[in-house]
Structure 1
Amino acid sequence: MHPAVRRFPLSVQHVFAMFGATVLVPILTGLNPGATLIASGVGTLLFHLITRGKVPAYLGSSFAFIAPLTLYVTKHHTPNQAVTGLISVSIVYGVFSALIAAIGFNRVKRLIPSVVVGPVVAIIGLSLAGTAVATDASTHWDVAIVSLAAAIISAVAGPRQLRIIPILVGIVVGYVYAIARGLVHFGNASASPWVQFPSFHAPAFSWQVVLAMAPIALVTMVEDLGHMFVLNEIIDRDVTQDPGFSSILLGNGVATLISALIGGPAETTYAENLGVLAMTRQFSSRIIQGAAVIAILLGLFGKFNAVIQSIPAAVVGGIGILLYGMIAAMGIRHMIEAKVDLTNTKNLIVVAVIFIIGIGAKNNGIAIATIVGLAIYWLLPDRTQTGAEDGGQAAHRS
């Protein structure tokens, strides 16, 4: 069997993992969902080109820019100005990429202790718990449970062929069960065109839009760093060293630039797909690149797009419980491996504050929690005189 054929079901899993969140952003902001899917696929391929295929990450729609995009696209009806704002975001990424390449990421990394990295990785998963449980799974708990159980059984007790695609198994079984329950409606699929092309918008300069969007890039860069810490834990290799965090930022910036020109939102690495990596232990970048190609085709072919959109939220919620929980567990594992001393009061305070802010804050909670955790760690005096008082002060090690 050709390697591409063997990789296809693995790529499909990643498409399912990113699809809901990626198309939700254009639905909320007034952008074109088809263009957004195409942008995510093209952006991911460019990201992999710039990072030389060494970072198995998928790039999808960033939620951090929902408010300004909604304001300028839906409310003010100025999508051309929104394009300019997103271009300014990509420029910020490029500037910081060059800065980190010049000063060296190791200098930045030394400022990030393990007592901050661990809980930040954990809240990346935990912050999605409400979406998985309250928003999605709760719509039909029986469907969610069937999907979750199928994925777990496939991963733990299934034959080897199924153990590497448990997410796909869970989605298919949950989808079939939902059809039997009469919860799937194919009306949109029959009404959708076979082929649909995105509408393009030329940039129209506006300082107001630039000032509204460009600073948000600082927030998403912090989230990117957190995602890379998760990825390091999963693949047991430090991608911030090879190919380097500067390359990762540059890849994200270029992906956002192309997305803006195509008519999509800002791009960011996706925690949902990191969960798939953690579950399947299949780390080939070719698999992610395959998912990107599928996303581009889905963006062009309306009927296939509509069929995927017909998957009930409860199926996605059941799978999300597993994926997001895997990410949270990675953060806890990191603190254990780094021997973070939680009998140290300062360390305990850092972890506590990061957890509550990261989970409780509705907008950009992960980035805010990271910044606050670092501020507490470096500004709060440590009265402990034990040998473990640094709380895993060394930055993340892979």
Structure 2
Amino acid sequence: MEERIIQVEEKVPAKMLIPLSIQHMFAMFGASVLVPFLFGISPAIVLLMNGVGTLLFIFITKGKAPAYLGSSFAFLSPALLVISKYGYEYALGGFVVLGIAGMCVALIVRQCGTDWIDIVLPTAAMGPVVALIGLELAGNAASTAGLLDGKVDPKNVIVFLVTLGVAVFGQILFRGFLSVIPILIAIIAGYVAAGACGLLDFTQVREAAFLALPNFTSPKFNFEAIMTIFPALLLVTSEHIGHQIVTGKIVGRNLLKDPGLHRSLFADFFSTTVSGCLGSVPTTTYGENIGVMAVTKVYSVQVIGGAAVLSICCSFLGKLAALISTIPGPVIGGISFLLYGMIGTSGLRMLVDNHVDYSKSRNLTLTSVVFVVGLSGIALKLGNVELTGMVLACVVAMALSLVFYILDKLKLTNDQ
């Protein structure tokens, strides 16, 4: 029997909506709250603005682009530099200016359209770029699970295997409603296993207040601080295009055309601008939640919106947020193993579905170079921003594809 797919605009019954929304919130929680911890601020304001940003994204894209907006890692290096030199308020100023610049880019895209993407990122290049979104994070999943430590704790291995095992076999064996919440079930199973292994610490839960208001902070502006953060615009734009393409492939729709790249890009940067104005970190579409959609075949924006509302509630419920934060690394790592792999597979699926002809030298070259650049670990520094992994591979792919296009126009290529 063909697996049931819940499409983007479909409504979900309440009895399904709550667990499906919780599943999405758990998927993003670990990575999203890590950024405020690194910046030395309370995660409450970040949970609030992630939820608000996601709801704004859904509204601006007319409910046609399922995406959860979580804390962006693209800003870590320049933002930490600004924070150490000027303070967090000046980093917020950089976030606001970058968000405004990103909205201007979205308006330019609206005027120019998206046909240029097929030229600078043909399928032979875009497929591996999308795959790299997941593949380059594989090491992070293993590190989060504690599997890359000098001395690996057997307890971490047990919890990791329980979580991953339930997620993998649940995807194949679960039926009915259970088949759409395998990630949530795997997290619960991993959490129980972590408790049995003595890895849970409820100190933060006991110390947390039941109700707490997020800490709002106003941005301050400094030219040098702004210019330190500004080059991250390229990273976020490239990441957004990749995420929208892979999401479109998963849901079976061209999201670059409808609702349009200009709308989703504007919504992404508008969320970052609002977040910066109120004291939170920049937001971006989240690969973890894309992975959840790929696994569950549930694409409803209603579910994404439900997760956003839960995130907002968590920002005011101190004990609940603290309880969720007790989910240990091996559980998050186990889930991430599957989710990141699903994203990687989506990129490879693009190559298969579009029948990329590798007898042509250009296609073989593009795919080969993109994979090697993305997985080699090499980096390109632009001021205080470092381009590496998927983003650097995307830049190289665009440059190489553009050169090939020009050579085609000059009739110098040998595979026409």
TM-score over 0.5 (shorter chain): yes
Q: Deviations over 1:336-359 (max 9, x none)?
A: 111112233332222122112223
Match of 1:167 in 2: 183
When normalised by structure 1's length, the TM-score is 0.92
Trace 1:341-352 onto structure 2 (pairs within 5 A): 341-352=357-368
Q: Are 2:132 and 1:116 aligned?
A: no
Q: Cα–Cα, structure 1 residues 360 and 299, in superposed 2: closer, same or farther, change >3 Å? A: farther
CA distance in 1, matches of 2:398, 2:99: 26
Q: Cα–Cα, structure 1 residues 207 and 384, in superposed 2: closer, same or farther, change >3 Å? A: closer
Match of 2:394 in 1: 370
Return the letter of the residue paired with 1:3.
Answer: P
Match of 2:160 in 1: 144
CA distance in 2, matches of 1:39, 1:109: 34
Trace 1:257-296 onto structure 2 (pairs within 5 A): 257-296=273-312
Q: Deviations over 1:116-159 (max 9, x none)?
A: 11001100010110011233252611111111111122221112
Trace 1:49-198 onto structure 2 (pairs within 5 A): 49-73=59-83, 75-76=84-85, 78-136=87-145, 138=147, 140-198=156-214
Q: Deviations over 1:201-221 (max 9, x none)?
A: 222221112111222112211
4+ residue segments displaced more than 4 Å: 380-386
CA contact (8 A) 2:138 2:337 kept: yes
Shift of 1:105: 1.9
CA distance in 2, matches of 1:19, 1:77: 29
Return the letter of the residue paired with 1:22.
Answer: S
Shift of 1:384: 6.9
Q: Cα–Cα, structure 1 residues 331 and 221, in superposed 2: closer, same or farther, change >3 Å? A: same
Aligned with residue 202 of structure 1, among 218, 232, 236:
218
CA contact (8 A) 1:137 1:316 kept: no
Shift of 1:301: 1.2
CA contact (8 A) 2:120 2:401 kept: no
Shift of 1:290: 0.5
Aligned residues: 386
Q: Deviations over 1:297-333 (max 9, x none)?
A: 1121111111111111001111111111111111111
Q: Cα–Cα, structure 1 residues 54 and 137, in superposed 2: closer, same or farther, change >3 Å? A: farther
For structure 2, the residue ranges without an aligned partner over 5 or more in a row are 1-11, 148-152, 380-385
Match of 1:227 in 2: 243
Match of 2:258 in 1: 242
Q: Are 2:7 and 1:12 aligned?
A: no
CA distance in 2, matches of 1:31, 1:254: 22
Shift of 1:100: 0.9
SS of residue matched to 1:42:
helix
CA contact (8 A) 1:119 1:331 kept: yes
Q: Percent of counterpart pairs with the same letter?
A: 38
SS of residue matched to 2:75:
helix
SS of residue matched to 2:121:
coil
When normalised by structure 2's length, the TM-score is 0.89
Q: Are 2:326 and 1:310 aligned?
A: yes
CA contact (8 A) 1:122 1:332 kept: yes
Match of 1:30 in 2: 40
CA distance in 1, matches of 2:24, 2:326: 17
Q: Cα–Cα, structure 1 residues 114 and 279, in superposed 2: closer, same or farther, change >3 Å? A: same
CA contact (8 A) 2:119 2:401 kept: no
CA distance in 1, matches of 2:34, 2:178: 29
